Amino acid sequence: MADRKEASIKKIAAIKTMRKLMAGHFYELDRAVKEGYPKIAWCTSVGPAELLRAMGFLVYFPENHGAMLGATRMATETIPAANAIGYSPDICSYLTSDIGAFVQGRTPLSDAYEGIESIPKPDVLVYNTNQCRDVQDWFAWYGHHWSRPVIGVESYRNVGEVTDVHVAGIAGQLKALVPTLESITGEKLDMDRLREAVRLSRECSDLWKAVLETAAAKPAPLTFFDSTIHMAPAVVMRGTQAAIDYYNELLPELNTRVAEGVAAVEGERQRLYWEGMPVWGRLRDLATQFLELGTAVVASTYANSWIFTALDEQEPFESMARAYTELFIVRSDPYKEAYIEEMIDTFSVDGIIFHEAKTCPNNTNCLHGMHLRLHERLGVPSIIIPGDLSDLRCYSDEQARTQIEAFVEQLDGQSRRQAMATPA
Ligand code: SF4
């Protein structure tokens, strides 16, 4: 049996600032709905947020709302309402929980922020299918409901090397969005504002990358579970100064932890990589179990997905196109495997947890043998945890707990054998 420690999750002080920021974000959107200005654009997580901000829209991200529905476990009650109007329980549970909540007239925003009664009604919905087709269907439902335009980018998938052909194709589609957006705002696109939004987005991305890289230190000052919380400004505020200011507060706090040897997980013994979506409704339980096992989940593909190193204000459309196509989820398996290999080295990873999210095959990478190929090539052990991002009917607490415990025991045994084989 693996050693158990008394678990206590160490709070990151910057969380107070983040809570204020997030409240400001949602109240600003709510005010815009009530006052009819500024216009509101819905955007998929790696849709053209920079373009929308440059054109004066407030930007709302329904996937963030999906994550809130999952984290509050409200999703379990709202998904059936979407199933009842024809959406399969097997498709994206962000989509089903979000549409189901709307049908039921509910939102976790009302519980979190007094006075907010609904998600913000859009003036336009802008998608990018770089992650999946579900987002297009999702936006189409709301576009039809409110008679609002739904426009977007149809992306490449399974991309190996990102070439100029890919970049030109996506940049062309991004430029083609502009006339519709101009007709909604009544103003012409100002290229200087677009360059500025891209510059701010890149700066936010660089800071977020630096935050995540602090976990390369031993012991790691933050875990994957911390990052799922602190990523919020990078997700919903990229392209704004507020997000940059936030990471300029968080990063020094983490650097201080590194300098002082403060561990997110006391007595850190094993270091893991989380591949796939979070289980939003079980973040605390999982974080606590890993703490008890002296195991830090130090890196993840998910949190890294908001790192956009290709953004370049000198070439706003082309660099947005490149950044949106370089995204992990868009890439081929050989690229993904090379990427994970690099993460294993950078973060000194002992093992990988693949989360097989039932309703998101798009962001589940163990369905076509990747876990076995990585094990064969690198000798890194892994487990597959069946579950889901938001639909807890697909997740067994007991099974996950037992699997994780057995996996850490296996890693501990391996470490002991290695220690004994190493001459003093
Ligand atoms: S990537 Fe997965 S979780 Fe995200 S919107 Fe698509 S299906 Fe849903």
pLDDT of residue 402: 98
Check pocket membership of 328 for ligand 1, CB cut-off 6 A: no
Q: Could you tell me if residue 170 is inside a domain?
A: yes
| Cα(364) to centroid(ligand 1), Å | 10
Spatial CA neighbour of 341 closest among 297, 378, 305: 378
Q: Are 143 and 56 in contact (CB under 8 A)?
A: no
The residue contributing the CA closest to ligand 1 atom 8 is 92
| Cα(267) to centroid(ligand 1), Å | 35
Distance between alpha carbon 29 and the CA centroid of its chain, in Å?
Answer: 21
Number of domains in the chain: 1
With a CB cutoff of 8 Å and minimum separation 6, the contacts of 392 are 73, 75, 76, 279, 281, 282
Q: Are 376 and 354 in contact (CB under 8 A)?
A: no
Mean pLDDT of 286-304: 98
Check pocket membership of 134 for ligand 1, CB cut-off 6 A: yes
Q: Could you tell me if residue 187 is inside a domain?
A: yes
Q: Could you tell me if residue 1 is inside a domain?
A: no
pLDDT of residue 7: 67
Tell the burial category of 164 from Cβ atoms under 10 Å away from its Cβ (0-12, 13-18, 19+): exposed
The whole-angstrom separation of Cα 264 and Cα 223 is: 7
Check pocket membership of 330 for ligand 1, CB cut-off 6 A: no
Q: Are 404 and 293 in contact (CB under 8 A)?
A: yes
Q: Could you tell me if residue 302 is inside a domain?
A: yes
Q: Could you tell me if residue 6 is inside a domain?
A: no
| Cα(358) to centroid(ligand 1), Å | 11
With a CB cutoff of 8 Å and minimum separation 6, the contacts of 28 are 58
The residue contributing the CA closest to ligand 1 atom 1 is 131
Check pocket membership of 203 for ligand 1, CB cut-off 6 A: no
Residue 170 has pLDDT above 80, yes or no: yes
Check pocket membership of 357 for ligand 1, CB cut-off 6 A: no
Mean pLDDT of 333-359: 98
Ligand 1: atom nearest CA of 389 is 3
Interhelix angle 15-35/241-260, rounded to 10 degrees, is 170
The whole-angstrom separation of Cα 371 and Cα 166 is: 28
Q: Are 391 and 76 in contact (CB under 8 A)?
A: yes
User: Order of strands across the sheet with 40-43?
Assistant: 58-60, 40-43, 124-128, 150-153
Mean pLDDT of 235-249: 97
| Cα(126) to centroid(ligand 1), Å | 15
Check pocket membership of 45 for ligand 1, CB cut-off 6 A: no
Best of 94, 275, 359 for a ligand 1 pocket test (most atoms within 8 Å of beta carbon): 94
The whole-angstrom separation of Cα 127 and Cα 177 is: 11
Residue 256 has pLDDT above 90, yes or no: yes
Q: What type of residue sits at position 88?
A: S
- Return the percentage of the chain with pLDDT > 90, whole number: 95
Q: Could you tell me if residue 139 is inside a domain?
A: yes
Token digits of residue 37: 């200005």
3-state secondary structure string, the chain?
A: CCCCCCCCCCCCCCHHHHHHHHHHHHHHHHHHHHHCCCCEEEECCCCCHHHHHHCCCEEECHHHHHHHHHHCCCHHHHHHHHHHCCCCCCCCHHHHHHHHHHHHCCCHHHHHCCCCCCCCCCCEEEEECCCCCHHHHHHHHHHHHHCCCEEEECCCCCECCCCHHHHHHHHHHHHHHHHHHHHHHCCCCCHHHHHHHHHHHHHHHHHHHHHHHHHHCCCCCCCHHHHHHHCHHHHHCCCCHHHHHHHHHHHHHHHHHHHHCCCCCCCCCEEEEEECCCCHHHHHHHHHHHHHCCEEEEEEHHHHCCCCCCCCCCCHHHHHHHHHHHCHHHECHHHHHHHHHHHHHHCCCCEEEEEEECCCHHHCCCCCCHHHHHHHHHCCCEEEEEECCCCHHHCCHHHHHHHHHHHHHHHHHHHHHHHHHCCC
**Mind listing the pLDDT tens digit for each residue in 3-61?**
455 568 899 999 999 999 999 999 999 999 999 999 999 999 999 999 999 999 999 99
Check pocket membership of 131 for ligand 1, CB cut-off 6 A: yes
Q: Could you tell me if residue 7 is inside a domain?
A: no
Q: What is the average pLDDT score of the chain?
A: 96
Best of 362, 364, 389, 391 for a ligand 1 pocket test (most atoms within 8 Å of beta carbon): 362
Spatial CA neighbour of 78 closest among 62, 90, 95: 95
pLDDT of residue 76: 96
Check pocket membership of 390 for ligand 1, CB cut-off 6 A: no
pLDDT of residue 415: 85
Check pocket membership of 389 for ligand 1, CB cut-off 6 A: yes
Q: Distance of CA 341 to CAs 198, 224, 336, 378, Å? A: 29, 18, 9, 8
Token digits of residue 60: 């709302």
The residue contributing the CA closest to ligand 1 atom 6 is 132
Check pocket membership of 132 for ligand 1, CB cut-off 6 A: yes
- For the entire predicted model, the pTM comes to 0.96
Spatial CA neighbour of 274 closest among 322, 231, 233, 324: 231
| Cα(327) to centroid(ligand 1), Å | 14
Check pocket membership of 363 for ligand 1, CB cut-off 6 A: yes
Domain of 232?
15-421
**Mind listing the pLDDT tens digit for each residue in 352-401?**
999 999 999 999 999 999 999 999 999 999 999 999 999 999 999 999 99
pLDDT of residue 423: 62
pLDDT of residue 416: 81
Q: Are 307 and 209 in contact (CB under 8 A)?
A: yes
Token digits of residue 115: 């006075």
* Cβ atoms within 10 Å of 342's Cβ, excluding its own: 10
| Cα(199) to centroid(ligand 1), Å | 27
Tokens 């052909």 correspond to: 165
**Mind listing the pLDDT tens digit for each residue in 208-217?**
999 999 999 9
